[in-house]
Amino acid sequence: MNTHDDIPLINIPPNAKLSDFDKLLFIGLHSKVSDIFMQPDRPVTVRYRQRLIRASKNPVSMETMKALINAMVSTTQAAAIDAGEPQSWSHNIQIDGEKGLGEHTKSLRFRCNSKSVQTYRSAENRAIVMRPTPQLPMKLESLNLPPGLTEALFPESGIVLFSGPTGSGKTTTLAATLREQCYDPDGKVIVTVEEPVEYNLHALPDVTAFITHCEVGRNVADFNLAMRAALRENPDVIMTGEMRDEESMLMAIEASQTGHTVYSTLHTNSVTSVFVRVSQKMPPDRAESVVATFIEASRTFVYQRLFPSNKGGVVAVVEWVSLSVMDRIALLTALSDGGISAVTRKMNEIMDHSGLWYKDSARAAYESGHLSSTAYESIVRTHELETKLEHADG
């Protein structure tokens, strides 16, 4: 396993408690790494500048791993993990009085996911992945988004959808967009329904918005109840986290059709794959009717990925399109005439005249010196293959 001078190796004490991990490991890693991976009988491993790095000299014992997760979650969540139901939550470390940890920072936040896994000693062990999240969302202007995209992120109503794999920066861009909404001169009511809550917008100073965060499984029993409650709060903006199933998609569509701006995420490999992915989440006999309502609700699609930059840090390769009224009419006509496959073909035409293709975004990153020619060619080639496979699945 790789090591790096910026990630000092620590000794995990016997019978280590959550407070030990907080002081020895989590606080020091928060601003340096994108992910922390832990499972029994393995050293703590982190993703640092797109590489896996060892962060502890000794492995985490089975007993320590179990005690660590028990200290982070409720008894019900712990039992669910052991029963084969992965759990998500946020872990906060209070650091009041610390210096140099960022604008108005009062705590460090981690998004956590745990599930039961197999190790070489046991078939039923708990593993955890922790992703450091800033206390505050970044400012939108600091993300260096492609020209025109920033304006397209703020429709009066409809769905704005961010997509990309884990670690692609889509949540960062979404959160920065919400931050901008918090300072609307007229004030907005913003409701987020998440599992778990990623960013605490209440930590922003001097906002004009009225903000409500609702965490599924903690503040309310399920997603459907949370969204129904959100619609009764007369919100201007709703953020739903990931659209992962039929229920969450239908609720997002319903919210957007009643005059709200809805922000969400979806796992796809391109913006042209969105409607295929939505159809795959629906029963076959309802797929086309749901896609039709989704087309009517759609406004802006963003797909992005992060790559190591030659200039240090990372660079985002972003594909995006904003659908006009005429674009949506053309998509509905294509759906009526030729089904989902015709919608995908029409989306390709719309991208040609109105959108920014992923390959063109990658070329811009190459021409600006952020990507080498080898990296640029590999990125485009891999993406084209992934997109072909995704469309084949549809």
Q: Percentage of the chain surpassing pLDDT 70?
A: 95
Give pLDDT, residue 176. 94
Q: Which of 166-175, 263-272, 307-316: highest mean pLDDT?
A: 263-272
Q: Percentage of the chain surpassing pLDDT 90?
A: 61
Whether residue 393 has pLDDT greater than 90: no
User: Which DSSP helix (H) or strand (E) runs through 82?
Assistant: helix 75-82
Please, which pLDDT band fits residue 368 given cuts at 50, 70 and 90? very high
**Judging by beta carbons within 10 Å of its beta carbon (0-12, 13-18, 19+), is residue 288 exposed, middle or buried?**
middle
| Topology given in CATH for the domain delimited by 140-393 | Rossmann fold (3.40.50)
Give dist(CA 376, CA 365) in Å, integer: 8
Q: Sign of the CA dihedral 60, 64, 66, 71?
A: negative
Give dist(CA 115, CA 339) in Å, integer: 39
Whether residue 107 has pLDDT greater than 50: yes
Please, which pLDDT band fits residue 96 given cuts at 50, 70 and 90? low
**Size (the chain), residues:** 394
Whether residue 391 has pLDDT greater than 50: yes
Give pLDDT, residue 68. 95
Strand runs labelled E in 216-313: 237-242, 261-266, 298-308
Q: Which DSSP string do the residues of 12-35 spell out, in sequence order? A: --TT--HHHHIIIIIHHHTTT-SE
Give dist(CA 294, CA 296) in Å, integer: 5
Q: Which of 96-100, 131-135, 190-194: highest mean pLDDT?
A: 190-194
**Exposed e or buried b per residue across 65-87, where buried means at least 16 C-beta atoms within 10 angstroms of its C-beta:** bbebbeebbeeebbebbeeeeeb
Give pLDDT, residue 35. 94
Average pLDDT, the chain: 89
Whether residue 195 has pLDDT greater than 90: no
Q: Are the CB atoms for 324 and 354 separated by under 8 Å?
A: yes
What are the tens digits of pLDDT across the range 308-346?
889 887 889 999 999 999 999 999 999 999 999 999 999
Place of tokens 């139901």: 85
CA distances in angstroms from 53 to 166, 270, 309, listed in the order given: 18, 30, 19
User: Residues spanned by CATH 3.40.50.300 within the chain?
Assistant: 140-393
Range 18-133 classified under CATH 3.40.50.720: no
> Token pair of 308, please?
């190591």
The answer, as to whether pTM is greater than 0.75, is yes
Give pLDDT, residue 100. 42
Give dist(CA 115, CA 124) in Å, integer: 10
Q: What residues contact residue 115 under an 8 Å CB cut-off, 6+ apart? A: 81, 84, 86, 87, 126, 127
Give dist(CA 64, CA 13) in Å, integer: 9
Whether residue 104 has pLDDT greater than 70: no
Please, which pLDDT band fits residue 394 given cuts at 50, 70 and 90? low
Whether residue 172 has pLDDT greater than 90: no
- CB count within 10 Å of CB 58 equals 13
Mean pLDDT of 165-194: 92
Please, which pLDDT band fits residue 241 given cuts at 50, 70 and 90? confident
User: Residues spanned by CATH 3.30.450.90 within the chain?
Assistant: 18-133
Give pLDDT, residue 98. 45
Please, which pLDDT band fits residue 392 given cuts at 50, 70 and 90? low
Give dist(CA 320, CA 322) in Å, integer: 7
More confident residue, 278 or 384: 278
Please, which pLDDT band fits residue 358 given cuts at 50, 70 and 90? very high
Q: Which of 112-121, 233-242, 383-392: highest mean pLDDT?
A: 233-242
HSE at residue 238, side-chain half, CA atoms within 13 A, is 30
